[in-house]
Structures are given as C-alpha cells and as structure tokens.
Amino acid sequence: MTAPTDRNAASLQRILDIMARLRDPARGCPWDREQTFTTIAPYTVEEAYEVAEAIRRDDRASLRDELGDLLLQVVFHARMAEEEGSFAFADVADAISDKMIRRHPHIFGDGDAKTSEAVRGTWEEIKAAERAAKTDTTEKPGLLDDIALALPGLMRAEKLQKRAARVGFDWPEVSFVLDKIEEELGELRSAIAGGESKDRLADELGDILFGYANVARHLGIDPEDALRRCNDKFTRRFGFIERELRKSGRETADASLEEMEALWQAAKKEER
C-alpha cells in the first residue's frame, strides 16, 4: 500500500505533469497555451467562490472537486511563471511554508502564545514587519496598504474597518453606525432631489454601503454572507411567483406589479 506522503507527492506531480503537457508549445492544448495570468485570473476568483459555496452547502463531495479546481489554478499560474523564468510551483510551496513557520513562532520557535487572541496579535505584528520589509522607501507603510484592491467591495470594506479598529478608529457601538447611516441616507436623498451627477450619487451610495458593512462587523456578521443569504431568499421568492403564475398559464411579463407583490407576500408567509 502506498504511504500517504508518497501518494500526496505522486498526485501533486501528476497534476504538474498534466499542466506541463497542456502548455507544451508543440503538443499542448491550443486553449491552454493561449492563456495568460490576466485571462486566468477571473477563473481563479470564481473557483475560490465555488469552494466557499460547497462549504456553505456542507457538501464534501463538491468541496473535494472544487478544491481540485482551485488547486489547478495555482498550478496553472505557477506553470506560466516557470515558463517565463519568474518562479516555479516549488517556489510557491516553499514561500507559503516559510511564511507559516515565520508567523507561528509559538509552534516552530521560542514564541509564547497560549490563546487564539495572542496568536492573532503575534500574527499581525509579524505581518506588519513583513509589510515594512517590502517597502522600498524609508516611509513607514500605511496600516491599510496591503488590503487587496481586488476583493469584493463589502469584504474589503469590512477588512478596512477591522484594521482601522485595531488602533481605535471605530465607533464605540452599533447605534452610532446606524445614526451615521441615517445621515448618509439624507445626503443621498438630497443629492437625488438636487439632480446631482452619477459620480456624486455613487459616492453617496458608497458611503451608505460602507456604513452597512460596518453594522455587519459590529454585529459579528459577514456582510458578504448576509447579502448572499438575501440573494438566495430573493431568488427563492421570485421563483415562487413564477411557479404560481405558470399554474394559470401566465408569465411574470403578463402580471402586474400588484399581483407579483401579493405573491411575494404569499411566499414570505409560506416560508414562515
């Protein structure tokens, strides 16, 4: 019987070999050969969300498959980097291994962290030192500098707020945030009434969304998950409207807003 470590190594080498074959200039797949970091990046993001969705559904078979798809993205990027001479898959694996050892001195060194809170504190201190080491100038890096621009808006808003809260830049309780949102809603209403530009309206609406992300953070709720749950609820209730209308041979385009609203309320009642 093959030892687990041997199987892991063999399985990993297999996918690396498959990707090398797909990217082979002479014998590879035309589609795979044409791809670049830029064209593959959207698939990488999509696969990460597919992993999260499998976890949300508590579907282990799907999780296995989706993790494989996500691993393929890492292998794909690493292969393209190896072809241009930047780095190889082994460098990626070594880099993350080194980082994990460096950020866990209480496990791999002489550090002392007995609680999760202590571990988080050490982790952030080490991350801050790493950020400073990466800065080419003598200027101290900003607290928010390394929060990725490519994150979904609500997720990035939450991360920005969490980071700022660590140094005390935060509302003391959620009621203050709700008051601020009411203020921002008033500003949006005024901007709409005043016929302001779309850029101005976008700014005002952004303030409101940022505020709601802050509410979610204060309540300990993931704002992306809250919106995802709402999306699921909307899809479910709208599907109810469609099914009910089709029972009488009609489609949503044939129904009035009042009829659809009544069916929406019926869907809510059925859910309760």
CA end-to-end distance (rounded Å), the chain: 54
- Are 259 and 250 within 8 A, CB to CB? no
Provide mean pLDDT across the span 63-74. Answer: 97
- Are 87 and 78 within 8 A, CB to CB? yes
Residue 60 pLDDT more than 60? yes
* Local structure of 14: helix, strand or coil: helix
Each residue's pLDDT tens digit, 150-193? 888 999 999 999 999 989 999 999 999 999 999 999 999 999 99
Looking at residue 5, its pLDDT comes to 82
Q: Which domains does the chain have, with CATH numbers?
A: 4-102 (1.10.287.1080), 105-134 (no CATH), 153-221 (1.10.287.1080), 226-271 (no CATH)
Q: Could you tell me what percent of the chain has a pLDDT over 70?
A: 97
Each residue's pLDDT tens digit, 206-257? 999 999 999 999 999 999 889 989 999 999 999 999 999 999 999 999 999 9
Provide mean pLDDT across the span 257-264. Answer: 96
User: For residue 135, what pLDDT band results from cuts at 50, 70 and 90?
Assistant: low
Each residue's pLDDT tens digit, 82-97? 999 999 999 999 999 9
Looking at residue 148, its pLDDT comes to 85
Looking at residue 2, its pLDDT comes to 56
Q: Residues 6 or more apart from 201 whose CB is under 8 A from it?
A: 188, 191, 192
Instruction: Round to whole Å and give the CA distance between 75 and 68.
Output: 10
Mean pLDDT computed over every residue of the chain: 92
- Give the number of other CB atoms < 10 A from CB of residue 66: 20
> Which residues in the chain belong to E strands, given as ranges?
none
- Least Cα distance to 118 among 105, 131, 128 occurs for 105
Residue 75 pLDDT more than 70? yes
Q: Which sign does the torsion angle of CA 204, 214, 155, 233 carry?
A: negative
The tokens describing 15, both together, are 């996918």
Looking at residue 93, its pLDDT comes to 97
DSSP structure string for 54-108: HHHTT-HHHHHHHHHHHHHHHHHHHHHHHHHTS--HHHHHHHHHHHHHHT-HHHH
Instruction: Round to whole Å and give the CA distance between 202 and 153.
Output: 13
**CA geometry: angle at 24 spanning 19 and 26, to 5°?**
155
Looking at residue 141, its pLDDT comes to 75
